[in-house]
Amino acid sequence: MTGFGRVASLLLALLIAPSAAMAQQQTFIEQVDLEPIESLAVQVDGRLKSFGSHANTLMSVVSGSRSINEQSPSFTYMDMMLRPNAYEDADIVYVKNKLVRNKIADALLMEDPTLGDRIEAFRETGLVSPMLLNRPSAQELVEVLSRDLIRTASSVDAINGALIVREPAFLLDRMRIVPPAVEGETAPWQSLSGIALMDASAYADHDPSDIAAITETWMGLVEAWNTHDPDAVNQSMATLATQLQELSPDVYPETGRLSWESWYFNQKSMTWVWLIYMLSVILLLLGMVYRWPPARWAGLGVFLIAFGLHTFSILLRWYIADRWPNSNMFEAVTTAAWFGGCLAIVMELIARRTAMHGIFALGSAMASMVALMAARFLPLYLDPNISNKMPVLHDIWLYIHTNVIIFSYCLIFMAAVSAGLYLLRRLFGGSADYVRAGGAGALILRGTTSTPDALADTDNASLGQVLDGVTMLLMELSFVLLWAGIAMGAIWADHSWGRPWGWDPKEVFALNTFIIFALLIHVRLKVRDKGLWTAWLALLGCLVMLFNWIVINFVITGLHSYA
């Protein structure tokens, strides 16, 4: 081979090598079957969860909602633990706070101007590599930012937390998948650290031959993973899963629940159902605006499918968590939307012969779509991970007060949907219609008079009357439920915090929401354009409710900070 040929071959090899390695990694990802290990039980802070769920939690600490190289969290967990060097200079740490992100980017760029493209990508995605974060300029800046407790310290804590979590020793230590020999409330599960360090004394209660077998399997898994041998990895993982399950069969939890939990998180908590809700919203809107029954019936059908899947996800989460899902923001938002769906179905049945039909489903579909979109796209705010309830939440009033309140909140949102449609109609020249008998009254009094006191069971009622009637009906119900929910919360607070009412921001804004609806009722008595005022105040009430759920929860924290 000539000199030129050698140089050309070398250049070619250099070009091909990374892409070949990437291709090999991609093939490895595709061929590895993580199912056995994803369904392993892991003990985390007093809860036995599936490894898939655990990996989802820890990887979100490192990378937020971003996925690394399109890998599943379980794969990234294993790969990060077994091949840490591959992630040293990979952009895996998510910096959420844009102020902090830009300051770090500026500091890194000032230290090394050649980082231009990477820094731009960092500004855009928020992902940066541990190696860059460990540069002196970034470290000095992070130290300074950690002192600002108001604006940047929590973000610095998150960065430092991510850097700790991605360490292989930490990941190994948190992989507490070795069950205790005997069942007991306080018996802790062991991590694989002892096995990785060939220290069988950490598992003294177990049969040494069992531990030796697990150690051998683990070592085989480590080697196979590092050599990218998918068959050996799959075999080792399946063997390891069997060995761990058989180590203490009396202690090991039901594998079916763990498999479902793993599936649930692989399905992103089924938040993709928002797409189906969106389809039903489109069809129901077509049906309502054009008075086109096929679209309305199709919309109702799609809504039922979406609601069925939504119901399945709620029930599945209940089964996995072993408690009704209403203990954190994710659960409150998705369960509230589900309550709205239940009511919509009931109301669609009651109002099936009135001009209101289809609008309850539309409001509910819109509420569920927004709720599931928020859960899908804002996982750092609506954390989908399942954890134990705080001690204060172990009370029957959690189920009574919280469910009543979130149900009322969903009704307020649904009322805002019909109010918004009313305003749109007015914007496009609709007349100032309203329903004289109120919401429930309109349904109850129908058929008793030919005057427009109530909605007719024919299509005589105008769309304005229908929308105003739906708004009022939902508002009346939410008015009662919100009031009762606040009172129930006061009963709980009385025996939990020692005072039924503490002027906590969340309490005050629940009261504020109620005041808006009290104003609505009284303003409706006095004004001529009742429909318009009702719609605006229903929207204002919804804004106050959302302010309570979003701003009060995330900005102005109080006693209800877990809600």
In 10 A of CB 49, how many CB atoms?
27
Residue 141 binding other proteins, by CB under 8 A: no
Considering only 59-67, 226-234, 423-431, 518-526, which stretch makes contact with other proteins by CB under 8 A? Answer: 518-526
Which one of residues 342, 452, 496, 560 is an interface residue with other proteins (CB under 8 A)?
Answer: 496
Q: Report how far apart, in Å, the C-alpha atoms of 87 and of each of 76, 128, 549 are.
A: 10, 11, 38
Residue number with CB closer to other proteins (199 or 494): 494
Which one of residues 1, 3, 30, 45 is an interface residue with other proteins (CB under 8 A)?
Answer: 45
Residue number with CB closer to other proteins (16 or 491): 491
Q: Angle at CA 369, nearest 5°, toward 363 and 372?
A: 135
Q: How far is the CB of 446 from other proteins (least distance, A)?
A: 9
Which one of residues 61, 286, 521, 546 is an interface residue with other proteins (CB under 8 A)?
Answer: 521
Considering only 193-201, 264-272, 295-303, 440-448, which stretch makes contact with other proteins by CB under 8 A? Answer: 440-448
Distance separating alpha carbons of residues 45 and 412, to the nearest angstrom? 37
Residue number with CB closer to other proteins (365 or 544): 544
Question: What are the residues whose beta carbons fall under 8 Å from the beta carbon of 213, sequence distance 6 or more?
Answer: 243
Q: How far is the CB of 203 from other proteins (least distance, A)?
A: 16
Subset of residues 109 to 128 that bind other proteins, contact rule: CB under 8 A: none
Distance separating alpha carbons of residues 231 and 78, to the nearest angstrom? 16
Which residues sit opposite 93 in a β-bridge?
128
Q: Which two tokens stand for residue 256?
A: 């079916």
Residue number with CB closer to other proteins (380 or 550): 550
Report CA dihedral (563, 548, 372, 540) to the nearest 10 degrees.
160
Q: Which two tokens stand for residue 73?
A: 């969290």
Which one of residues 400, 523, 543, 546 is an interface residue with other proteins (CB under 8 A)?
Answer: 523
Considering only 60-68, 296-304, 347-355, 431-439, which stretch makes contact with other proteins by CB under 8 A? Answer: 431-439
Distance separating alpha carbons of residues 431 and 145, to the nearest angstrom? 57
Residue 275 binding other proteins, by CB under 8 A: no
Q: How far is the CB of 64 from other proteins (least distance, A)?
A: 19
Q: How far is the CB of 207 from other proteins (least distance, A)?
A: 22
Residue number with CB closer to other proteins (233 or 443): 443
Subset of residues 335 to 394 that bind other proteins, contact rule: CB under 8 A: 387-388, 390-392, 394
Considering only 20-28, 61-69, 144-152, 155-163, which stretch makes contact with other proteins by CB under 8 A? Answer: 144-152
Residue 432 binding other proteins, by CB under 8 A: no
Q: Report how far apart, in Å, the C-alpha atoms of 232 and of each of 28, 50, 95, 476 are.
A: 11, 23, 36, 63
Q: How far is the CB of 544 from other proteins (least distance, A)?
A: 8
Distance separating alpha carbons of residues 29 and 86, to the nearest angstrom? 14
Which one of residues 22, 110, 131, 151 is an interface residue with other proteins (CB under 8 A)?
Answer: 151
Residue 16 binding other proteins, by CB under 8 A: no
Question: What are the residues whose beta carbons fall under 8 Å from the beta carbon of 59, sequence distance 6 or more?
Answer: 68, 73, 76, 77
Residue 450 binding other proteins, by CB under 8 A: no
Residue 408 binding other proteins, by CB under 8 A: no
Q: How far is the CB of 440 from other proteins (least distance, A)?
A: 5
Subset of residues 179 to 238 that bind other proteins, contact rule: CB under 8 A: 185-189
Residue 437 binding other proteins, by CB under 8 A: yes
Q: How far is the CB of 290 from other proteins (least distance, A)?
A: 30
Distance separating alpha carbons of residues 182 and 206, to the nearest angstrom? 9
Which residues sit opposite 50 in a β-bridge?
41
Long-range contacts of 441-448 (CB under 8 A, 24+ apart): 442/469, 442/472, 442/473, 443/350, 443/351, 443/354, 443/356, 443/469, 443/473, 446/354
Residue number with CB closer to other proteins (21 or 491): 491
> Which stretches of 229-378 are DSSP H helices?
230-247, 255-266, 273-289, 293-321, 329-350, 359-377
Question: What are the residues whose beta carbons fall under 8 Å from the beta carbon of 142, sequence distance 6 or more?
Answer: 104, 133, 156, 159, 160
Residue number with CB closer to other proteins (222 or 559): 559
Residue number with CB closer to other proteins (413 or 492): 492
